[in-house]
Amino acid sequence: MNILRQKRGFTLLEVLIVVSIIIIIAGIALPRMLGLNDQARVSRVGGDLRVLQTAVESYLINSNKVPGVGSNLEVADPVIVSDFSKITDPFSAGGTSTYGYSSASATGKQYYVLFSLGKAGNGTASISTAGVLGCGSGAICVSNGK
């Protein structure tokens, strides 16, 4: 009696086909997923800057001046930002730096700008005593200026 042995396992061709399919799927999906990180960071920046803008406006209404530095927001009444140093810009190196803040005052006028470094990580912003906003290339800004 001659009993044939059944071979178990996959042939080299079958393995190559499966690996090729996985590589094709990864090639399609990976670029889409990488783009989502930047979109998520931009959304986070938008939310953070709105909270900080609310805190600055509250400070301005209650003290009749804009805060000199961002950490002054911690003493605003009502307290909206309890620890300015914990609200970090996700586009900064390592995500450990706070958002940028600048203010300017003219007779009877108070202006401010809050900004993120943006995707390139090097954005800047400024505000003049006339309220003219200078939002540098790549920066994400909110302001009460023009």
Using one digit for the tens of pLDDT, what is the confidence trace for 48-65?
999 999 888 888 888 888
pLDDT of residue 65: 85
* Contacts of residue 76, Cβ cutoff 8 Å, sequence gap at least 6: 55, 58, 59, 62, 63, 67
pLDDT of residue 2: 57
Is residue 30 assigned to a domain? yes
Is residue 6 assigned to a domain? no
In which domain, by residue range, is 104 found?
Answer: 13-143
Is residue 1 assigned to a domain? no
Question: At 84, which CATH number?
Answer: 3.30.700
pTM: 0.73
Is residue 60 assigned to a domain? yes
pLDDT of residue 3: 62
Q: Mind listing the pLDDT tens digit for each residue in 63-110? A: 888 888 877 888 777 778 888 888 899 988 887 788 988 888 887 888
Closest CA relative to residue 122, chosen from 135, 134, 138, 133: 138
